[in-house]
Amino acid sequence: MWPGAELAALSVRGSSDPLPPEAAENARREAAPIGGQFGAGFRGLASCRAELRAAFAERSDWEVELGFGKGRFLVSSAAASAPRPFLGVEMASRYFRLAARRAASRRLSNVVLLRGEALYLIATLLPAGMARTVHVYFPDPWPKSRHHRRRLLDPRTVDLVLSLLDRPRGRLFFATDHLEYGEAVADTLARHPAVELDRVDSGWPEGPRTNYEAKFVREGRPIVRLAARLRDGGLASLLHPGGRDDLLVGPGPAQEPSASRTSS
Ligand SMILES: C[S@@+](CC[C@H](N)C(=O)[O-])C[C@H]1O[C@@H](n2cnc3c(N)ncnc32)[C@H](O)[C@@H]1O
């Protein structure tokens, strides 16, 4: 069901590079270059999962963008904030490759891009607590109610996304022009026992962050912008009540053995 993942380790190892030498070297050795002298890709995660996980776990200040599209925000932020490490996750190959070329042409050594489905990669590869910030901008809204389950953020997925955040410093930033989805995400975050939520009604301090946001601001469309952070310590549960209620744990309560089974 899930697409495979592909990685661009866009750095040559240096003091500020986010990947250790083995991971970067494997990235170069194992698959065809995607363009530029820095590009490399993995055919699958099997051979490198442990080392990548360890590499991501080395730091807890990653800036992570899920669904970066053409990469405007990711690439410009990484260029402006080097050597802070940036990780971009994008499902669509053509956007992944476009952003990889952009990052390579700017010779950025603090960016790692993963092509793959974000929730799959969080569950299988990305260690908890790695991120100072998780950015989710204009994710596909899946407006039909029968498709809501495909949304990147909902009560069943929010714990997975929040698990990336370093506590207590981590922040989740979200924006959408789809007001129903935006209110649903605001409600999901507001009901979460571990989250403090703010609305960013006046826009980000630096102006529109992504291509979609710039376009929608030009068109005068309303945008829901949210900033969430994890409360510090003391919480019994990090699970959202909506997601938790979907869990069933078996077997059920112990039952008295029936007379027929105990009689022989
Ligand atoms: C509407 S575009 C927004 C792109 C960019 N964030 C922006 O604001 O300009 C949504 C992007 O998220 C990607 N995407 C959607 N669902 C995803 C998922 N589950 N995992 C990774 N990427 C995803 C799509 O391929 C697309 O590039």
| 108 in any annotated domain | yes
- For residue 116, how far is its CA from the centre of ligand 1 (angstroms)? 11
| 1 in any annotated domain | no
- For residue 244, how far is its CA from the centre of ligand 1 (angstroms)? 26
Residue identified by tokens 């929010």 is: 158
- pLDDT score recorded for residue 8: 58
Distance CA 260, CA 249 (A): 27
Q: Considering the entire predicted model, what is its pTM?
A: 0.84
**What CATH number has the domain bearing residue 49?**
3.40.50.150
Would you list the DSSP string of the chain?
-PPP-EEEE-----TT-SS-HHHHHHHHHHS---STTT----S-STTTHHHHHHHHHT-S-EEEEES-TT-HHHHHHHHHHTTS-EEEEES-HHHHHHHHHHHHHTT-SSEEEEES-HHHHHHHTPPTT-EEEEEEES-----SGGGGGG-SSSTTTHHHHHTTB-TTT-EEEEEES-HHHHHHHHHHHHT-TTEEEEE-TT--TTS--SHHHHHHHHTT---EEEEEEEPPS--S--S-HHHHTT---SS-S--PPPHHHH--
| 35 in any annotated domain | yes
pLDDT by 10s per residue, the chain, length 264: 234 455 555 433 333 455 566 665 555 544 333 333 333 444 445 567 787 888 899 899 999 999 999 999 999 999 999 889 999 999 998 999 899 889 888 888 889 898 889 999 999 889 999 999 999 999 999 999 999 989 999 999 999 999 999 988 999 999 999 999 999 999 999 999 899 999 999 999 999 999 999 999 999 999 999 999 998 764 556 788 888 777 777 877 666 666 555 544
| 70 in any annotated domain | yes
- pLDDT score recorded for residue 24: 59
Distance CA 155, CA 51 (A): 31
- For residue 151, how far is its CA from the centre of ligand 1 (angstroms)? 11
- pLDDT score recorded for residue 38: 34
Cα–Cα nearest to 49, from 17, 4, 87: 4
| 177 in any annotated domain | yes
| 166 in any annotated domain | yes
Which residue, by CA, sits nearest to atom 10 of ligand 1? Answer: 139
Parallel, antiparallel or unpaired: strands 111-115 and 6-9: antiparallel
Tokens matching residue 170: 């981590």
- pLDDT score recorded for residue 46: 55
- pLDDT score recorded for residue 235: 54
The torsion angles phi and psi of 133, rounded to 5 degrees, stand at: -145, 140
Could you tell which of 138, 161, 173, 181 is best to mutate to test the pocket of ligand 1, judged by most ligand atoms within 8 Å of the CB? Answer: 138
Task: Measure CA of the first residue to CA of the last residue in the chain; give whole Å.
Answer: 48
- DSSP-assigned beta bridge partners for residue 140: none
The torsion angles phi and psi of 64, rounded to 5 degrees, stand at: -115, 130
- Count of the separate structural domains present in the chain: 1
| 10 in any annotated domain | yes
Domain extent, residue 251, equals 6-262
| 60 in any annotated domain | yes
- pLDDT score recorded for residue 32: 35
Maximum distance among all Cα pairs of the chain, rounded to whole angstroms = 79
